[in-house]
A and B are shown apart, each in its own frame.
Chain A
Amino acid sequence: MIDSIYIAWKYVGFNKVRTATLVACITLISFLPVSLQLLLEESERQLLSRAVVTPLVIGAKGSSLDLVMNTLYFGDEVPELIDMGASDRIWDTGLAVPIPVYVRFQARGQPIVGTSLDYFDFRGLKIREGRMIALLGECVVGKKVAGRLDLKPGDSLVSSPETLFDLAGVYPLKMKVVGVLEKSHTSDDLAVFVDLKTAWVIQGLGHGHEDVTKTKDTTVILKRTDNNVAASAKLFHYAEITEENLGSFHFHGDLSVYPITAVIAVPHDTKSGTILRGRYLSKEEALQIVKPEEVIDGLLQNIFRIKNVLDAVISVVALATILALILVFALSLRLRQREIQTIFKIGCSRMTIARLLTAEIALILLMGGALCIALVFLVDQFSNDLVRALFIR
């Protein structure tokens, strides 16, 4: 048997192009449905597991899918902004604990999630290294962010400007990394978490600068009255919050009108959740309340509908490929008729010839199978990121 395999190996090695074509066909036809299934299972796991544990999301009226994808998976599509009053309104009802979320900015390609500390309790996120955010300008990063950007507690991370050419816009904020979260196998691993107020500083709504009521630099003062000092744009704003300048950071106006993207509402019980949902049903209501599980369920149904179509297409292609493979082998046998006769004439039995041909087919199938397994292993390793790239971001 070893001899047959050796001769078959030499044969497939000699006919490199033919062998490569056959191996590629077998690999693709087996890899496609398996990897597709793998990715869909991962996408279902990622999307559904997070959606079912997020009871309610409140945001601006519009695409509920964009709202949920941004709030739960920190997707790039930023829904229309709402104000912090939406969170206070939920708190005042006493029906649910509101967790405001502001997902708009990025730092080195990773989403910055401005939220309250309740978010960490709600998601069960624990600190692996360092400590939780305590002061303005601090951030904690997900495990994957820490790995990708090589960050550890004590390092700095600079927020990215929203538009490259916004020269008159807000300066990027240099944030202090104070902690790294434990791996959660969710979108939280890929996010940079800051307090809402820090997110507002990134936006320029909160800022720190020298005390204009005491400054001696008259060139920054536009107008000075008994009650007000108006400063010009020359006034230097701090781009980093430090122990020394923390006291100078402040917010102007009423924080309840400051922007957020959504509020996660955690009702105290099912009845409270139902009552809360009822309060957002009127046509005049500017906000919508959605149950993420229902939104993601709809998305998954569409994905599975597409998957069924893909399954059918792959089945037809697979059948055609298998038929083509049979044809290739049949034609190959016909072309090798003289070669087979020569082998027969030099004394090999029909069984030996059959073994030789079987070994050739088995080797090709084995190579295709091995390659398929290797590719499936690769997809499995990167399925989390692939799903995020394909379905979430």
Chain B
Amino acid sequence: MARITNVPGSTFLSGTLLFAVLILFGVPEATWAGDPDDESLTLYAVNYPLKYFAQRIAGGHANLVFPVPADEDPAFWNPDPETIAAFQKADLILLNGAGYARWVDKASLPRSKVLDTSAGFKEQYIKIKGAVTHSHGAEGKHAHEGVAFTTWIDFDLAGRQTRAIWEALSRMRPDLQDELQSNYVVLAKDLKEIDKAIREIVSANPTQPLIGSHPVYDYFARRYGLTMRSVHWEPDEVPSDAQWAELQGILESHLAKWMIWEGRPMQGSVDKLEAAGIKSLVFDPCANVPDQGDFLGIMKQNVENLKKAFP
């Protein structure tokens, strides 16, 4: 405050007052950044697995909000401005990362409240092969590349996403550290058990060719060493002739006996596949809230379903 000595009376007075105000109220660097209070935290998640993980870790200390309607795919759902405003007011926004929930790229979210749960393993993202990119402007510039985003059905990666949530919650509520940690340990153990169970099942015949009904099994296939190729079929639609022809093309070099569906397929699709010697099983990634049960229950059911393909 040496500057004040250079100014005449009134400026000195105002400078002194300003200094006094700063002493009284302090520079806001320590008070800003959303210190948690005693109330429970409000967390917004972009998919159901993240909501489930966070709820398991936080227990009753957080209000988990997952605003995607039950009949929408969270990866391609677009919120209205009011819902984005609700996201903006959350204490923590849980993102899956890897390009999941495309709307995030076009929305304004506060960086300090956003947790990209897969940021810790960005180098392990899977680039989608065969996706058509585009470029314009200067030659070679501006090419797009797609990234697979269903990270959580690699249960090792799911564990790392879970850890990111636990660490963030612990930073926000250090007073609950012990409780959060014990909840996290239990959840991590559950995920490890599923991971171990799948590895054991797959080890019976790891090279068996499989077909994925939807390109959502990239991380799953990589983690468990599956030989899998995907088509783009919907469980609630009987495949068209073009889709059927695409499958026939794949089968020429990839003699799969099982198709893995993300939801219960229509009987027409099952029958048509069985006629071609391909059986169906469901491995639901559970991106949205299930009709019955919870994430862990669905995954356990997935494990049981998977056993059919690996007797």
Contact = CB atoms under 8 A, between A and B. Distances in A.
Interface in B105-129: 105-112
A227 B27 CA distance: 54
B135 A228 contact: yes
Nearest to A205: B142
A132 B85 contact: yes
A116 interface: yes
B30 interface: yes
Contacts of A212: 134, 136
Interface in A109-155: 116-118, 121-122, 131-136, 138
A266 B111 contact: no
A246 interface: yes
B163 to A, nearest CB: 16
Interface string A230-247: 111101000000000011
B27 A53 contact: yes
B22 interface: yes
A251 B28 CA distance: 35
A300 B27 CA distance: 20
Contacts of B28: 53
A151 B27 CA distance: 34
Interface stretch (A11-19, A37-45, A370-378): A37-45
Contacts of A121: 32, 34, 110, 112
Interface residues of A, number: 64
A384 B28 CA distance: 24
A75 interface: no
Nearest to B141: A252
Contacts of A253: 142
A32 B139 CA distance: 61
B7 interface: yes
B142 A91 contact: no
Interface on chain A toward B: helix, strand, loop, or mixed SS?
A: mixed
B106 A197 contact: yes
A228 B78 CA distance: 27
Interface string B128-150: 00111111110101111000000
A286 B50 CA distance: 38
Interface string A177-212: 010000000000000000101000000000001001
B299 to A, nearest CB: 32
B3 A229 contact: no
B108 A301 contact: no
A258 B125 CA distance: 21
Contact of A273 (B29, B102, B108): B29
A56 B109 CA distance: 22
A273 to B, nearest CB: 7
Interface in B39-88: 78, 81, 84-85, 88
**Nearest 9 pairs between A and B by C-beta?**
A117-B110, A252-B142, A134-B84, A231-B136, A134-B81, A195-B108, A55-B29, A304-B6, A136-B106
Interface of A: 37, 40-41, 44-45, 48-49, 52-53, 55, 87, 91, 97-100, 116-118, 121-122, 131-136, 138, 178, 195, 197, 209, 212-213, 226-233, 235, 246-247, 249-253, 266-270, 273, 297, 300-301, 304-305, 307-308, 311
Interface of B: 2-3, 6-8, 10-11, 14-15, 18, 22, 27-30, 32-34, 78, 81, 84-85, 88, 102, 105-112, 130-137, 139, 141-144
26 contacts: A37-B11, A41-B10, A53-B27, A117-B88, A118-B110, A121-B34, A132-B85, A134-B84, A134-B108, A135-B81, A135-B84, A135-B106, A135-B108, A136-B107, A138-B108, A197-B105, A227-B131, A228-B133, A246-B78, A247-B78, A250-B144, A253-B142, A266-B33, A269-B29, A269-B30, A301-B3
